[in-house]
Amino acid sequence: MVTVLPLDAPRRAAELQGAAFVERAPFDAEIGMAVAASDQELRAAFASLVRRAQAEAEVPASIDPDATAWAVLAFMQGMASQLTYDPVAEEAVRDQCRLIVDALLHGSQAGEHDEPASP
């Protein structure tokens, strides 16, 4: 997740290139459909990771894979955009991504629900 965020020059260039398409997307139906299809591919990939983790009992069955994938993609897109004009140290970004993923997948910001509440 962190590895694709614009935290150095090459990834910043890639993010700005992608953002140029997103900027046109609301005004050009073909670009809009292409970007929406790319989003959908990413959401499907994330959702399939969630389903695999559920099959392996790493993630509770109560988690909604599609809603989680949507949340992760929206969060990453917002974070990537912010980082292009408001840089943040990689470690802080990493902590922030961990917090989001923990909250979404394990129902906890700090992992406090990872272990059963009553042994």
Residue ranges in contact with a copy of itself by CB under 8 A: 12, 16, 19, 22-23, 25-26, 31-32, 35-36, 39, 62-64, 67-68, 70-71, 73-79, 81-82, 84-86, 95-96, 99-100, 103-104, 107-110, 112-113, 116-118
Q: What's the closest the beta carbon of residue 48 comes to a copy of itself, in angstroms?
A: 18
Q: What's the closest the beta carbon of residue 78 comes to a copy of itself, in angstroms?
A: 3
Q: What's the closest the beta carbon of residue 101 comes to a copy of itself, in angstroms?
A: 10
Q: If we measure between CA atoms, which residue out of 32, 61, 64, 26 comes closest to residue 46?
A: 64
Report yes or no: 50 and 69 within 8 Å, Cβ to Cβ. yes
Report yes or no: 98 and 5 within 8 Å, Cβ to Cβ. no
Torsion of CA 72, 78, 81, 87, to 10 degrees: -90
